[in-house]
Amino acid sequence: MVDGGDPANSAPRTGGRVRSSAARDEVLNATMALLEEQGYGKITMEGVAARSGVAKSTIYRWWKSKALLVMEAQSEAVARRMPEPDTGSVAEDLTIFASELNRVVEFPQRMEALRGMMADAQLYPDFAGALRDWVQTRRAVVSAILSRGVERGELDADLDVEYATDLIFGPFWYRLLVGHAPLRPDLAGAEIARLLAGFRHPAAD
């Protein structure tokens, strides 16, 4: 099971009270605290219930699995930390975004959680869809930056924005999952400059 618990507990639950925003925040805060302390593999719904003071049955009503809970906690942390820059320069915007993206290296347990969730997504189709939707929210930020660059004439008018977005995120996920090279926030500017060079047609002689 994704959450490592009783299979009966992983099934969707019906009924119960509407989410309390305060209780929800307690659960998400407890999840992130446990993630930093223990790592993704050791988090349990029981542990989150004990830390948050919210009943395990309530947590299961709101999140069907540990993976979904951790993903939502991570997504909120990312939303607070990650910028959506609009400086007027595609190079500057992408450098800011990529620098912050690679700063996950400063949070080893969050890196482990991303790897764990990616592994769970290969095994559990329901979670795979949820993870894909979350990743898409981050892709949308980069796609918007690139589209503005096209509109301003900084990038080719015929740029395939979706494929260009893949090229920007590709090194991050490949290095995160394979570990063959480090994530380097300090090199984001140089890496973005190389990519942008390929997004522009050579100047005519």
Phi, psi of 38 (to 5 degrees): -115, -25
pLDDT classification of 7: cutoffs 50, 70, 90: very low
Q: Distance between CA 96 and CA 103 in Å, rounded?
A: 11
In this structure, the number of other CB atoms found within 10 A of the CB of residue 56 comes to 17
What are the tokens at 2? 């994704």
pLDDT score at 66: 92
- Pick the more confident residue, 75 or 12: 75
pLDDT classification of 201: cutoffs 50, 70, 90: low
Predicted confidence (pLDDT) at residue 33 exceeds the cutoff of 80:
yes
pLDDT score at 170: 95
Domains of the chain: 7-64 (1.10.10.60), 82-198 (1.10.357.10)
State the DSSP code for 159.
Answer: -
Q: Distance between CA 158 and CA 144 in Å, rounded?
A: 15
pLDDT classification of 3: cutoffs 50, 70, 90: very low
140-195 pLDDT tens trace: 999 999 999 999 999 999 999 999 999 999 999 999 999 999 999 999 999 999 99
CB 30 within 8 A of CB 51: yes
pTM above 0.85, yes or no: no
